[in-house]
Amino acid sequence: MVHGRWVTMDFQSLHPRDQLAVIMERIYRCGMTTASGGNLSVLDEAGEIWITPAGVDKGDLFAEDIVCVKAGGSTEGRHRPSSELPLHKAVYAARPDVRAVIHAHPCALVAFCLVRGVPDTRILPQAAAVCGSVGYTPYTFPASEQLGQAVAAGFRDGHNTVLLENHGAVTAGQALLQAFHRLETLEFCAQLTIRAHVLGRATVLSDEQIAMSRHTEYLLEEYEPRAQVPGERALRLELCEFVRRAYRQRIMISTEGTLSARLDDGSFLITPYGFDRAYVETGQLVRIDRGRREAGKVPSRAVRLHEAIYASRPEVGCILCAQAPHSTAFSVVADATFDTAAMPESYVMLRELPVVPFGPQYEDVSRVAALITKRTPVLLIRNDGVLATGRSPAEAYDRVEVAEFSARSLIEAAMIGEVAPISRRELARLDQAYPVE
Ligand SMILES: [Zn+2]
């Protein structure tokens, strides 16, 4: 994958001060730092380091709070620079390609640091490519030169993230957004692995399986749409709103998740490949018409599967493939049972939940499409997540949220006892009251 694709032009054109304030806010909002923890920096063309300040609330940080550290070592700004400045400097010195560094204490990654482990990014198809290699360094005193040198040694060895024993994580990238994507994706892999641990043993993908998701033959031929289809403008807006909402609700992360919806003329719109889900805009959605893609745009790699489902299921108006931490945890444990019949809401909204092995969603799309029926509108795809269909974006979105809530309840139930089943008789009553239409 070309990492640069994830970096939207708009974001890159922001001043480093603004980039840092925006990303600090995202890190805080998605629960990856406390008000006092975490620090990030950008190295600019002039060799100046722009870094978050010491002692300022990370949930309420503005661009004016960012400190500039000049190449000679003097600082400019209304605050002192972060106490971890030596660590940031050491990473820039070790890796000339690095232009941004993030240090934070996200809970799942810290949990790995407490047991001297590193999460396996082969748990999801894109994660290894996003994160790159992950290193680990033994405990050293915080904010010390020694910590900086130990972390820098990890980056010099080619790692793009280094976990700090009993402490937290440092990620780096050629741009701030890339460093953020690495941190968020790795934290997600850690969350998945921890939740999966409650259910059994997490399985990881082989190199061949990961390669399946990146075959170039998924690239369709291009065409120039003559004009917009009636309703296209409104549908583009609606889809973007649902993608951003899915991101806010932690149903998608920046680097994972696909949404599509059908237009009246039989073509459909789908999310693009390689754009941050938090910033998806209407013009970036790709229209797919009879196996061809709108000129100049690259659709999500799930495009063939979406096309096959629309071709075989006329009632389906929208498809959402989502990676949320609890439902995806079920997908990575081979013998875990996602019992949708344990809760009425889950049973009525999801019905049965067929499990698809990893691979056919790329290599045998008609087989996966054939599993979608009115009784099975949602699928669990191994090491991938949930695929929900619906007549509308709202229906598919709701099903994904119900799947995530149900999965969370089942995982939390497994921590405290045995799940009490609903009797067959009561399930039959639900079938009667809420018949499959
Ligand atoms: Zn720290």
Q: Which residues contact 151 (CB under 8 A, 6 or more apart)?
A: 87, 90, 91, 137, 162, 164, 170
The Å distance, Cα 36 to ligand 1 centre, comes to 10
The Å distance, Cα 123 to ligand 1 centre, comes to 26
The Å distance, Cα 304 to ligand 1 centre, comes to 44
Q: Do 216-433 and 3-199 have the same topology in CATH?
A: yes
pLDDT band at 216 (very low <50, low <70, confident <90, very high): low
Say if CB 264 and CB 228 are below 8 A apart: no
**Both structure tokens of 395:** 């229906």
DSSP string for residues in 99-135 = -EEEEE--HHHHHHHHTT----GGGSTTHHHHH--EE
Q: Which CATH number fits domain 216-433: 3.40.50.2020, 1.10.1370.30, 3.40.225.10, 3.40.630.30?
A: 3.40.225.10
The Å distance, Cα 197 to ligand 1 centre, comes to 26
The Å distance, Cα 385 to ligand 1 centre, comes to 32
**pLDDT tens per residue, range 220-230:** 899 999 889 99
**pLDDT tens per residue, range 68-111:** 999 888 999 999 999 999 999 999 999 999 999 999 999 999 99
Average pLDDT of span 55-66: 89
The Å distance, Cα 164 to ligand 1 centre, comes to 9
**How much is the pTM?**
0.94
What ranges do the domains of the chain cover? 3-199, 216-433
The Å distance, Cα 326 to ligand 1 centre, comes to 27
Write the class of the CATH domain 3-199. Answer: alpha beta
The Å distance, Cα 34 to ligand 1 centre, comes to 11
**pLDDT tens per residue, range 364-403:** 999 999 999 999 999 999 999 999 999 999 999 999 999 9
SS (H, E, C) 302-365: CHHHHHHHHHHCCCCCEEEEECCHHHHHHHHECCCCCCHHHCHHHHHHHCCCCEECCCHHHHCH
Give the whole-angstrom CA distance, residue 5 versus residue 262: 26
Which uninterrupted H or E stretch holds 69? strand 67-69
The Å distance, Cα 91 to ligand 1 centre, comes to 15
The Å distance, Cα 139 to ligand 1 centre, comes to 11
How far is it between the farthest Cα atoms of the chain?
77
The Å distance, Cα 170 to ligand 1 centre, comes to 9
Give the whole-angstrom CA distance, residue 74 versus residue 312: 65
The Å distance, Cα 37 to ligand 1 centre, comes to 6
